[in-house]
Every structure is written in C-alpha cells, then in structure tokens.
Amino acid sequence: MSGLLPGFADPVLDAQACFRAVLDAMSRPGRVVRLGEGLRPPAPLSAAAAAVLLTLADADTPLWMEAGEDAAAWVRFHCGAPLVAEAAHASFVVASGGAPSLMALEAGSDEEPQRGATLILEVSALVEGEGWRLSGPGIAHEHRLSVAGLPAGFAAAWAANRARFPRGVDVILCSGARLAALPRTVAIAEGEARSVNRDGDNNAIAEGEARSVNRDGSSRAIAEGEARSVNRDGDNNAIAEG
C-alpha cells in the first residue's frame, strides 16, 4: 500500500462546487462539466469520479467498486461508505469497461424510484458535438455526445433501462476531470455525422458554449472588480483614520 492520499483541499467548499457541477450535469444531460481538478485520487479512479464520490458517497450509501485496494481504502477513509460485495445492493457503483449490466443494478420501485442506483462509469473520452443524439427532459432539441470506451452493448442496455421509467439507473460518465450525466429519462439515438451542414451546425453550437464559458469568466472578472472596490474602500478608511 502506498499510503492514503488526501481528498478535497477544502472539504466544504469543494464538495459544494462539485455538487453544483453534478447537478448541472444531471439537469442538462450530455453536457460536459469539469470538476475535481487538482484532486489526486488513487490510481485507477479518475479525478471526476473521485470528486463525485467525495461529494455524494457517505455512510448511508453502500458502494460497489472494482478499483483495487488503494482506492477502496481511500474511499473508506474519506467517505466512510460501506463497500458491498454485490453490485445489486449498492447505491453507487464505480466501474470501467467491465461494468455490471444496467439491469443487474438496484432500480428502485415504482413507489420509491429514488432508490435506483447511480452508475459512475469511467470512460476514455467524452466529446460534445458528435456521436449520440440525446433527447429528453433538460434538452431543448437534441444534444450530441460521443463517448469512447463504453462497455459493449451499452446503448441496448440503456434502452431497456429507460423503458422501465420511473424505475431505473442513472449513469455518470467520467473521463479525467470531465463528467457528463445520463439521467434515466434521456433517450439515446445512435447518430453518425452524415451531412456537412449538420457538422457545421454542431460546430456553431460548440462555439456558443465556448462563448457562454467566456461570459462566466467575465462575470468572475466583475466579482473581482467588486473585491477591488472593497479594497479601495478599505484604503479610504485608512486615509480617513490617518
């Protein structure tokens, strides 16, 4: 054992930021969010999956994972989540390519659909603007997401999972510090880039998103500006006192 690794630097604020990111990802299915940057989880866990566990898993959420002893010790220490031997009894399942079947996981009941498990799936890449056509609640028309490194037959298993709504399993896809969510309501259609026009449209959408990111950046700049003005007040006070 290489010794435990640290979790969040600031447990409260980092967990709040991650919760917000996961909430955004869940409410806009297929949208890629970034989280867990700066986190150093034990080897097989990605930063995003580790951040999700630190944020959501605790002593009340049985966890199933196949990431090895170091990761298990890390999760036990930082989350206190009980590790279970059967994926069917877990609230959170962390898996990569050899994931258990969606239909084998806890799906909740018609009275208590919130008991359905969440599958945290490690994938090799998440790219927006190509691949799957996603539609459903939270998506205005359609959203495109390409996922590399999924278990075989995932799309078919997803159709079966979606058919049993309100029961079902929610999936969180993690790749490095990037994360996208597939709540059980989302419909996945296999889409291939056929016409050049559509590609052009997709690029436009991607640019729009880039602009919105910039907008966030500028709002942060405004916040900093306010902080500076507070400082200036402080200076004034100092002068007045002088």
Partner 1 sequence: MTTSGIKQRQRWMGVLARASGEAIATRLEAVGPLPAHERLRGPETGLVMVRGRAGGDGAPFNLGEMTVTRCAVRLGDGVVGHAYVAGRDARQAELAAVADALLQGARRDAVMAAVVEPLAAAQRAADEAEARKAAATRVNFFTMAAMR
Q: Which residues in the 179-218 window bind partner 1 by CB under 8 A?
A: none
Q: Which residues pair with 120 in a beta bridge?
A: 94, 172
Quick check: 38 binds partner 1 (CB under 8 A)?
Answer: no
Quick check: 6 binds partner 1 (CB under 8 A)?
Answer: yes
Q: Which residues in the 50-109 window bind partner 1 by CB under 8 A?
A: 77-78
Quick check: 41 binds partner 1 (CB under 8 A)?
Answer: no
Cβ distance to partner 1 smaller for residue 70 or 128: 70
Quick check: 143 binds partner 1 (CB under 8 A)?
Answer: no
Cβ atoms of 139 and 195 within 8 Å: the answer is no
How many chain residues interact with partner 1 (CB under 8 A)?
9
Quick check: 129 binds partner 1 (CB under 8 A)?
Answer: no
Sign of the alpha-carbon torsion through 157, 159, 165, 169: positive
Cβ distance to partner 1 smaller for residue 60 or 110: 60
What the block records as the tokens of 163 is 């058919």
Q: Which amino acid is at 64?
A: W
CB of 54 to partner 1, least distance (A): 11
CB of 12 to partner 1, least distance (A): 10
Cβ atoms of 193 and 130 within 8 Å: the answer is yes
- Distance CA(173)–CA(156), nearest Å, equals 17
Peptide bond into 166 cis (omega under 30): yes
Distances (CA, A) of 186 to 99, 131, 199: 20, 15, 22
Distances (CA, A) of 153 to 159, 172, 190, 223: 10, 17, 12, 47
The stretch near partner 1 (CB under 8 A) out of 6-14, 108-116, 185-193, 211-219 is 6-14
Quick check: 165 binds partner 1 (CB under 8 A)?
Answer: no
The stretch near partner 1 (CB under 8 A) out of 3-11, 51-59, 131-139, 184-192 is 3-11
Cβ distance to partner 1 smaller for residue 50 or 169: 50
Cβ distance to partner 1 smaller for residue 5 or 180: 5
Q: Which amino acid is at 50?
A: A
Site residues, partner 1 (CB under 8 A): 2-7, 11, 77-78
